[in-house]
Amino acid sequence: MKEFDPNIIDEAAAIIDRGGLVAIPTETVYGLAADATNDKAVARIYEAKGRPQFNPLIIHVAGPEMAQRYVSFSPLAEKLSDAFWPGPLTLVLPRRPDSTLSLLVSAGLETVAVRAPNHPIAQALIRKADRPLAAPSANRSGSISPTTAQHVRESLGARVDLILDGGPCPVGLESTIVKVDGDHAVLLRPGGVARENIERVTGAPLKIQKSSDRPEAPGMLASHYAPNAKLRLNADAPASNEAFLAFGTAPAHPHRLNLSEAGDLTEAAANLFAHLRALDAICAEYGLKGIAAASVPHEGLGEAINDRLARAAAPRN
């Protein structure tokens, strides 16, 4: 993390208080944060992102205590928050009838997505503002999630009142989203916590809800994480007119970036979005046909990496 001026947290909290937008670093990706209890502030998020209004947002809390003011925890939900908060796990839980959250946050659903981020700057701002922050990834809708403050600047620029620069995000992938309904848990989105680790806590296999074709998590559109360049998956080797997203030992290539030379999935996750952006720019600069991506093992964080790659490769209009 970069050196940080504590006064800027006061400035950021004042912006939140008056309904403005602050881009914040979290351990996963940068978030575009606003007061989750203020309808106008939440509406500004959708406006800045150019995001369809029916797409619900994650609220970011300091911890379970703050979350319990807005959503109901079943014993299973409590077990999961105990095990993984603060951290890259989002729980979708029933909204409390007395919740003061903006109704826009969950876009009409009876449930709310909530997580406690594990990042000192995000935590400091939530505590200073003393309220939950609604925050989607801080990029224009449909583009790649930002893992540095510079990515946020490029994508949103003047649409944000303040960008807090916390350096590169250590996890680099969005949170894992699990919907908990009583004693029943389903995986809505693979992410920063590997499924195996969640199953170790729940003691049962986690069912996957294919959310791309469900109205319930409309943000999981097939082509949600798209670079401009065409992406070819599971490539053994790149063609001469392709850029190459390598993993592990890889053939030499003039336009190659490696997710992890050591074949480490955590390192690969942290590099994924920044490498996709960089190769996208290289394709444009050199007039290449697209990006060839090496295959990544489907275990641990590999599940989330493959999910994002599949979305980035999906046909779009």
Residues in touch with ligand TXA (CB under 6 A): 26, 28-29, 31, 55-58, 88, 90, 92, 106, 109, 111-113, 135-137, 174-175, 177, 188, 216-220
Nearer to ligand TXA, 36 or 177 (CB): 177
Nearer to ligand TXA, 20 or 86 (CB): 86
Structure tokens at 234: 């599971």
Nearest distance in Å: CB 255, ligand TXA: 29
Nearest distance in Å: CB 114, ligand TXA: 9
Nearest distance in Å: CB 138, Mg ion: 9
Residue 146 contacts residue 25 (beta carbons within 8 Å): no
Nearer to Mg ion, 94 or 136 (CB): 136
Nearest distance in Å: CB 89, ligand TXA: 9
Partnered with residue 184 across adjacent β-strands are 181
- Name the 3-class secondary structure at 231: strand
For residues 18-27, one letter each, b for 16 or more C-beta atoms within 10 angstroms of the residue's C-beta and e for the rest, the string is ebbbbbbbbb
- Total residues contacting Mg ion (rule CB under 5 A)? 1
Nearest distance in Å: CB 93, ligand TXA: 8
Rounded Cα distance, 31 and 132, in Å? 13
Which residues in the 115-144 window bind Mg ion by CB under 5 A? 137
Rounded Cα distance, 186 and 207, in Å? 5
Nearer to ligand TXA, 174 or 307 (CB): 174
Q: Name every residue whose Cβ is closer than 8 Å to that of residue 294 and which is 6 or more positions away in sequence.
A: 234, 235, 236, 244, 245, 246, 247, 248, 250, 259
Footprint on this chain of Mg ion (rule: CB under 5 A) = 137
